Amino acid sequence: MTPPKVFLLGLDGATWRVLDKLIAEGVMPNLAALSAGGTRGVLRSTIPYSTPVAWSSVLTGVRPFKHGIFGCHSMENRDGVILIRLTDRSQIKAPLVFDIYNQIDKRVISVNMPMTYPPHPKDGTVITGMMTPSKESRFYFPEDLMSELREHNIDYKIDIGFGREQAADFVQKITAYLGNGAVAFLDDLKHVSEEREKAVFHLLDSREWDLFMVTMVSMDRIQHYFWDLFEDEHAHPEIRKSIYDHYRYLDAVLGRVYSRIKDEALLVVCSDHGFGKYSGNFHLDVWLEKMGYLARKGNRPMAVRLAKKIAKGLRINKILARSLERSKKTLAKKLMFAGTSDIDWSRTKAYVYSTDSIRINLKGRDQYGIVEPGEEFENLREEIKQELLGITVADGTRLIEKVHFADDLYGSSGAKDAPDIIYEFTEKNHYATYYGPQGGSQIFGEPYPWKQGDHRIDGMYLIAGKGVVAGKKVTADIEDILPTMMFIQNLPPSEDFDGRVISEAFTKDFISDRKDHERRSFERSEVEKPDSDKDDEVIDRLKGLGYI
């Protein structure tokens, strides 16, 4: 008997907290039916529960320490200056699903999966997702794919516009985009989603495939901006119906996809993380400085002076920060996020690394490291952990729920490209970690008025189709998704996998039909991000979601 194909439908930001509420209200009947007829559960995300980190684990079947992605960006200490480096596929260290399937002669179609840019010619049919620079970049294969979609009247977009063209200043952009009943935002969201659906069904009808992957981002975008709607029945009455209509649309897409593939494939639905309320901003660098772990130079750093000089050379004459924000010039835009460090490394023991994480300035690893490996390193980690757990907000309640060391999460510490300490906020006080404003002294910042929701660890998954146990609930980890998809297709697992097969989801007969394959090794394709890529749009998208 030929094993079934697999269709992976990614629902970025989906959580049973919201979905079960909408199922109960009759908004998502297709999801209700598939949940009753299949196996579902909470899908524990990566720590940190950041989109690039989590989807990298979906694509590789391994935890962050193996794939090497720890956030939307990482802080690189280069010659004493902290540079913020945006993450992309070229930095993923483990073999991806494309590599694995290509090496066992299986065909992949991938649409809008985050962290797939830049693509590789051997990937199959691919349109990359989050962290794709722009439509001017080569974000698809084969080379005539976008022309093909246009010939079929498909106006494919990488993501919503985040008000990019609506105003010069970022706050003005996002305010206008979400104002007036959120008409601009919801129209944009609907257009992007509908055109993506058209692309999916065109590719389903025109190409052979063994694994089809697509991610819809609507839930994530809505929940970042309008999370209160799901916690307060009186919130956003003017747009509640429109937002519920979009969830009805997504449910209809789910139904249409399942109807199309159910005779030849199993459906796997999953998200990268869950969602909850966002409370405000936590300036980790300011906290580290106040606690004596991070030291700054007494005068303005050379990089800031250089940024001003370059801005002047580009004929940007207003205040630097505003000028860089408004500039269309890529170099100026990048300077807003790089080369402005005034850290005194000779007196700094720890610094901000990436999403909700800290790195020790370790001798022998960091360029200007001062902390000795061994006992001093371990004692400092423990000290910072206890201090983090002791932070309270204005009402006296704790800010941090858990603090993890790298070896607790990943089995190793002191790694070259990884954080040493990762923390999780409490449910009540869930802040976003940001750098404080230049010269700022406040540990906490007011919440952005346009942001209401942020990530949680409890994502979701659902498996439906022939051979799946009906009505089963099983909690799983995000790195389990790829091993489970390969098990469905009776394929040999990678020796790198950290994830397991969610075997409880399948009937005894289904399991007995699969071979007990030995694990095998797969090679990772080398990809490089072109030097000509412009990061302007990526930065705008990340800012629009409150990620940077």
Count of CB atoms within 10 A of residue 127's CB? 26
pLDDT at 326 over 50: no
At 414 the pLDDT is 60
Arithmetic mean of pLDDT, 453-465: 97
User: How much of the chain, in percent, has pLDDT values that exceed 70?
Assistant: 88
Q: Which two tokens stand for residue 400?
A: 């941090």
Closest CA to 361 of 344, 345, 378: 345
Strand, helix or coil for residue 201: helix
Task: With cut-offs at 50, 70 and 90, classify the pLDDT of residue 299.
Answer: low
pLDDT at 335 over 90: no
**Which residues are CB-contacts of 9 (< 8 A; sequence separation ≥ 6)?**
214, 215, 216, 254, 257, 267, 268, 269, 270
Task: With cut-offs at 50, 70 and 90, classify the pLDDT of residue 82.
Answer: low
Arithmetic mean of pLDDT, 524-545: 79
* Least confident window among 25-29, 354-358, 501-505: 354-358
Three-state secondary structure readout of 95-111: CCHHHHHHHCCCCEEEE
Closest CA to 113 of 274, 275, 270: 270
* Least confident window among 77-86, 279-288, 411-420: 77-86
Yes or no: say if 183 and 166 are a contact pair by the CB < 8 Å rule: no
Yes or no: say if 101 and 107 are a contact pair by the CB < 8 Å rule: yes
Arithmetic mean of pLDDT, 471-495: 98
Q: Which residue, chain included where needed, has tokens 């409150």?
A: 546
Max CA separation in the chain (angstroms):
72
pLDDT at 25 over 90: yes
Q: Which helix (H) or strand (E) holds 462?
A: strand 458-464
> Distance between CA 251 and CA 27 in Å, rounded?
8
pLDDT at 337 over 60: no
In one-letter notation, the amino acid at residue 137 is: S
At 45 the pLDDT is 98
Burial code of 8-20, b = ≥16 C-beta within 10 A, e = fewer? bbbbbbbbbbbbe
> Distance between CA 140 and CA 15 in Å, rounded?
29
Strand, helix or coil for residue 285: helix
**Whole-structure pTM value:** 0.91
- In this structure, what are the phi and psi dihedrals at residue 434, rounded to the nearest 5 degrees? -135, 160
* In the chain, where the domains are located: 5-276+456-467+474-544, 280-301+341-446
Answer with the residue of higher pLDDT: 326 or 70: 70
In one-letter notation, the amino acid at residue 546 is: G
What's the half-sphere exposure (Cβ side, CA atoms, 13 Å) at 431?
22
Arithmetic mean of pLDDT, 460-480: 98
Answer with the residue of higher pLDDT: 326 or 512: 512
Alpha-carbon distances, residue 162 vs 185, 249, 346, 432, 541 (angstroms): 7, 21, 41, 19, 7
Three-state secondary structure readout of 434-460: ECCCCCCCCCEECCCCCCCEEEECEEE
pLDDT at 166 over 70: no
Arithmetic mean of pLDDT, 416-438: 89
Answer with the residue of higher pLDDT: 324 or 167: 167
> Distance between CA 528 and CA 496 in Å, rounded?
22
pLDDT at 207 over 50: yes
Q: Which two tokens stand for residue 225?
A: 């901006």
Arithmetic mean of pLDDT, 474-489: 98
At 539 the pLDDT is 75
At 334 the pLDDT is 45
What's the half-sphere exposure (Cβ side, CA atoms, 13 Å) at 433?
25
Q: Which two tokens stand for residue 389?
A: 């757990």
Yes or no: say if 520 and 483 are a contact pair by the CB < 8 Å rule: no
Q: Give the CATH class of 5-276+456-467+474-544.
A: alpha beta
Distance of CA 495 to the CA centre of its chain: 25
* Least confident window among 122-136, 271-285, 319-333: 319-333
* Least confident window among 10-19, 301-310, 421-430: 301-310
Arithmetic mean of pLDDT, 475-487: 98
Task: With cut-offs at 50, 70 and 90, classify the pLDDT of residue 320.
Answer: very low
At 338 the pLDDT is 42
At 336 the pLDDT is 38
Question: In whole numbers, what is the pLDDT of the chain averaged over residues?
Answer: 89
Task: With cut-offs at 50, 70 and 90, classify the pLDDT of residue 332.
Answer: very low
Count of CB atoms within 10 A of residue 103's CB? 16
Task: With cut-offs at 50, 70 and 90, classify the pLDDT of residue 80.
Answer: low
* Least confident window among 252-266, 327-341, 384-398: 327-341
Strands 73-78 and 280-283: unpaired
> Distance between CA 38 and CA 466 in Å, rounded?
9
Distance of CA 137 to the CA centre of its chain: 20
